[in-house]
């Protein structure tokens, strides 16, 4: 699967009409990287003063169950949305905390201001800010940002890199070809259905090492070559749109649990090579479902 995604698409003209312009060059996507970085910077400024303070206390969004949200989540998304609305008002926005704003073109920014709010509340630095840009429903640009340790993983057509503590490093997956050698991750085994747990248990019993609780940071480390596979379920569009460009830009592969092109949610498996993906799909297909959006 190519991560260049150079499919032609129409961008709406300025408000009030105008001819549509077709953009097919990946360089035009890369030209939006500085803006994506500014969005991530704005989120950092909103979040970091609240991390590991009393202000990190969470509210529960659910009446049955637990889905925490903090003022840091909301403040970060407000900061990102304000920049998009001020400088790119024709673009759509889909954010975890403040929902969907329809755009006037084919570009949508998917925002998860704090992916891993449970980790944030617990004072653990495995949470990230996710910013993904999709064109025509396909993610083309992704940012996975961990502000506390100053790691920013960026994926664009044909490339991915890590900016950390003033140093830029190209990202490249490990290329691990045997599931028996692989480092495997999922965020929470207990949110999987019984059938999904059975499939994941086959992977866990085969893999060399399994780690839990990392949320989107696991995908970042897959792109960096220290984790080889991540399998998860029950995901939403804002959870995944930023991940695909980073993983594929680093040479990895992402599919659903049937091995089909990934959707913006549902069941996702990301791998460091096609070889270990094929081995994992033998188990994952047993509990694969269709994503309804």
CATH of domain 179-287: 3.40.190.80
- Pick from 9, 11, 8: which is nearest to 19 by CA? 11
Residue found by looking up tokens 């980790």 in the block: 119
Kindly give the parts of the chain with pLDDT less than 70. 1-24
pLDDT at 135: 95
* Residue 67: per-residue pLDDT: 77
Closest by CA to 98, choosing from 121, 119, 73, is: 73
Strand order in 183-186's β-sheet? Answer: 209-212, 183-186, 229-235, 266-271, 253-255
| pLDDT value at residue 162 | 98
- The single residue listed with the structure tokens 């035009």 is 28
Q: Which residues are within 8 A (CB) of 243 and not within 5 positions of it... i.e. 6 or more apart?
A: 130, 132, 139, 142, 144, 216, 219, 254, 268, 270
**CA–CA distance, 20 with 14 (Å, rounded to integer):** 9
Write the secondary structure of 162-191 as one string of H (helix), E (strand) and C (coil).
EEECCEEEECCCCCCCCHHHCEEEECCHHH
Q: CA 119 to CA 241: how far, in whole Å?
A: 21
Q: Domain-by-domain residue ranges, the chain? A: 9-170, 179-287
Closest Cα to residue 181, out of 220, 223, 209?
209
Place of tokens 């659910």: 62
- DSSP category for residue 105: S
Considering the segment(s) 9-170 as one domain, its CATH architecture is 2-Layer Sandwich (3.30)
Look up tokens 């994506």; give the residue: 36
pTM above 0.75, yes or no: yes
8 Å CB contact between 186 and 212: yes
- Token duo for residue 28: 């035009």
Predicted pLDDT at 20? 41
92-146 pLDDT per residue, tens: 999 999 999 999 999 999 999 999 999 999 999 999 999 999 999 999 999 999 9
- pLDDT (0 to 100) of residue 65: 75
- CA 176 from centroid of its chain's CA atoms: 22
CA 159 to chain centre: 16
Cβ-contact 154, 142 below 8 angstroms: yes
Scanning the structure block, which residue is given the tokens 């792109």?
223
């Amino acid at each position: 699967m190519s991560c260049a995604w150079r499919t032609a698409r129409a961008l709406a003209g300025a408000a009030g009409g105008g001819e549509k312009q077709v953009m097919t060059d990946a360089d035009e996507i890369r030209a939006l990287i500085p803006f994506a970085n500014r969005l991530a910077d704005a989120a950092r400024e909103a979040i970091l003063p609240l991390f590991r303070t009393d202000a990190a206390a969470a509210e529960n969004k659910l009446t049955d169950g637990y889905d925490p949200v903090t003022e840091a989540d909301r403040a970060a998304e407000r900061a990102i949305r304000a920049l998009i609305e001020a400088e790119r008002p024709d673009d759509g926005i889909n954010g975890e905390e403040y929902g969907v704003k329809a755009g006037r073109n084919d570009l949508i920014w998917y925002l998860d201001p704090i992916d891993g709010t449970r980790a944030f509340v617990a004072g653990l630095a495995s949470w990230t800010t996710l910013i993904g840009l999709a064109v025509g429903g396909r993610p083309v640009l992704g940012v996975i940002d961990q502000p506390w340790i100053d790691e920013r993983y960026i994926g664009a057509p044909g490339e991915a890199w890590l900016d950390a503590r003033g140093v830029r490093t190209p990202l490249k997956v490990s290329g691990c070809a045997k599931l028996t050698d692989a480092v495997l991750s999922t965020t929470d085994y207990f949110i999987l259905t019984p059938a999904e747990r059975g499939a994941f248990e086959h992977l866990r019993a085969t893999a060399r090492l399994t780690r839990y609780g990392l949320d989107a940071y696991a995908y970042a480390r897959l792109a960096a070559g220290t984790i080889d596979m991540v399998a998860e379920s029950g995901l939403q569009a804002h959870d995944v749109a930023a991940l695909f460009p980073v993983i594929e830009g680093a040479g990895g592969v992402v599919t659903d649990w049937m091995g089909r092109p990934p959707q913006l949610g549902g069941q996702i498996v990301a791998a460091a090579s096609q070889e270990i993906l094929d081995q994992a799909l033998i188990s994952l297909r047993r509990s694969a479902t269709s994503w309804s959006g």
